[in-house]
Chains A and B, each alone.
Chain A
Amino acid sequence: MSRTLTLGLLIFFLVTLGLATFNGSLLVLAIPFIFYLLIGLWRGPETVKLEIQRHISKERVVPGEAFTVTVQITNQGVDIEELAISDPVPPFLDITEGSPTHLVVLKRGKTYTFAYTASGKRGFFQFNHLNARASDRLGIVIARESLATHGQILILPPVPRIKRIAIRPRVTRVYSGTIPARQGGPGTDFFNVREYQPGDPTRAINWRASARHTQAIYSNEFEQERVADVGIILDGRSHLTEFRNNHSLFEHSVIAAAALINTFINSGNRVGLLIYGKYINWHVPGYGKQQRERLMQALARAETGDSQAFASITIPPQMFPSQSQLVLISPLQNDDLEPLIKMRAGGYPILAISPDPIAFETSFLPATPNIQLAARIQRIQRQVLLQRMQHGGIQVIDWDISRPFEQAAGPLLSRPPAFMRAINIGGQS
């Protein structure tokens, strides 16, 4: 109930009772209330004319990095005896210095400036308004305004560095890159031996083969390296990624996705992103720095959720170019096997990076015999699932998130040197 209404009701009560009982003393009791109300009405601001300017020291930061928000308020209306200012700050930001709320006296034409320093977790926030509440000193007349401002902060996920990621999609694009294209041509890795053709460099001649087959000269052919289409699918299903007491596996998945996006785009590939949570959030494939920025912003905004329509993962194939490389980052569940096998059968090479939910959850649970037994059963079920995926032709990396992504998955993802691949060591799981 507003203060004016409270006072009004009390005055009404006393005056009515005084008139009804013909008792002047009751009317006298209403005088302090009336006087208090009149003083408030007299001094209260009716309209508020404030001009706001906001400055944020940085537009993009990494988690935990501090930034400063400075707000300048100029009163272009009447004197304000009491101005309460409240800058709404999202829950994922922590204020480390200063305050986003203030209570000040702001005379006409005067400017008040305040600043606060904040840092926070991954996320994106637009500072598009500021709440102001002007009143007289007694708080009787209150004028509330939501003042439009500009400003945004983007807290990007950290990007671990991975040097190279070894993928072999069936189809590559025409531009040269780092992905083996299954075609002979200029390159560094041996691919084939064919008959010498005019124009071949002499160092490409395979002298041993030419000596054995004297009717012709043979040249070594190398495997072309090109760029490819890569679709990254980030699983944000909350029933798989969110655990008790706000423990989230999703943050680790986001870090992995950021590392993969960065590496693939740096290698010149065309990368798209599908965030699979409550809704399907799709970003069309693209090249270059702009695409990286777009996808990083999408990762900063990514949230978990559960789709009402699909329990298991459902990837619309029309979103990705035919036979392009898919990278799925997901804790995985048994229901996901069938759709993934179908995608694989449809010609999409799939690399599944699976942050281990069992190791993650047991790390913050007490080590009771029951929990250990349950974890053991779950682990066996997970191993079976991962093996069935591997048998289905899906490359699987089981990531224990107690180790950083670049350390745990980096060596498995990086392309092994040519001599190691020649003797079939490393690189592939």
Chain B
Amino acid sequence: MGIGLILPAFGLYSAGYILPGLVLALLTPLSLYTVKRNWAWPPAAALALITISSAFLIIKGTSPLLALAAILGSLAAWDLSDFQTRLNLAHRDDDPVSLERTHLLRLLPTLLAGFLLSWAALTFHFTLNFDRLILLIILGIAGLGLLISFLRQVD
């Protein structure tokens, strides 16, 4: 969460918004304190705040990679703080280390895949004509339908 707050703070500071950047920077130790105290709502509030400030940075023309890194950091923090709350239910016989490991093995690839997809979207730009665009939309709708039916079968 600290990374998630520091990055947009730096971005805001670089873009000339010194006071908002300073406020976000000051919120960093506060957010770490709330995480340490196991408060439930600050991670979600911080995630929303970081998302809004990242969006603001992009509108103001700052590097999207900086905003993306802030988003990924805050998403990880939000996920881990919630997992910590759930992990408090675990007894030592439940092997909490193994639970942590399996959780991280799910979270890290998810974040990595999200980052790679975003990075690819930022890097590769395709110019499509109308026919191909229609084809892509049809493929997208069909893929979504297949995905839903697959998920139903799995369940």
Contacts and interface: CB of A to CB of B under 8 A. Distances in A.
B136 interface: no
Max chain B Cβ within 10 angstroms of own Cβ: one of A24, A25, A28, A35: A25
A29 B154 contact: no
Interface stretch (B11-19, B20-28, B105-113): B105-113
Interface string B93-119: 110100100110011001101110110
Contacts of B151: 41-42
B3 interface: no
With most chain B CB atoms within 10 A of its CB, the pick from A6, A43, A81, A82 is A82
A26 B59 contact: yes
B122 interface: yes
- Number of chain B interface residues as a range: 35 or more
Interface string B67-84: 110011001000100110
A31 B75 contact: no
A189 interface: no
A92 interface: no
Contact of A28 (B59, B96, B122): B122
A59 B48 CA distance: 52
Nearest to A14: B55
B137 interface: no
B64 interface: yes
A137 to B, nearest CB: 4
A81 B107 CA distance: 13
Nearest to A47: B155
A48 to B, nearest CB: 12
B14 to A, nearest CB: 16
A102 B71 CA distance: 32
A56 to B, nearest CB: 19
Contacts of B94: 102-104
A139 interface: yes
Contacts of B155: 45-47, 78
Contact of B102 (A45, A99, A105): A105
Interface string B43-74: 01001100110110011000010011001100
A140 B151 CA distance: 15
Contacts of B44: 1, 6
Contact of B58 (A1, A23, A84, A104): A23
Interface string A1-42: 101001001100110010001011111110111111001011
Contacts of A337: none
B58 A25 contact: yes
A339 interface: no
Given A14-B51, A101-B89, A137 B106 contact: yes
B86 A29 contact: no
Contacts of A175: none
Given A6-B44, A39-B110, A138-B110, A26 B102 contact: no
Interface string A107-141: 00000001000000000000000000000011100
Contacts of A13: 51-52, 55
A25 B82 contact: no
A13 to B, nearest CB: 7
B91 interface: yes
A83 B107 CA distance: 18
B90 interface: yes
A36 B68 contact: no
Contacts of A101: 89-91
A32 B114 contact: yes
B47 A6 contact: yes
Given A101-B89, A139-B82, A29 B55 contact: yes
Contacts of B67: 25, 29
A24 B67 CA distance: 13
A98 B68 CA distance: 44
A169 to B, nearest CB: 57
7 contacts: A10-B47, A28-B121, A29-B51, A32-B115, A36-B79, A102-B89, A103-B94
List 8 A-B pairs, minimum CB-CB distance, nearest first: A32-B114, A103-B90, A99-B91, A35-B114, A25-B64, A137-B106, A101-B89, A31-B118
Given A31-B118, A33-B114, A39-B106, 20 more contacts: A14-B51, A21-B59, A25-B64, A26-B59, A29-B54, A31-B114, A31-B117, A32-B115, A36-B114, A46-B155, A82-B86, A82-B99, A101-B89, A102-B93, A103-B89, A103-B94, A137-B102, A138-B110, A139-B79, A139-B82
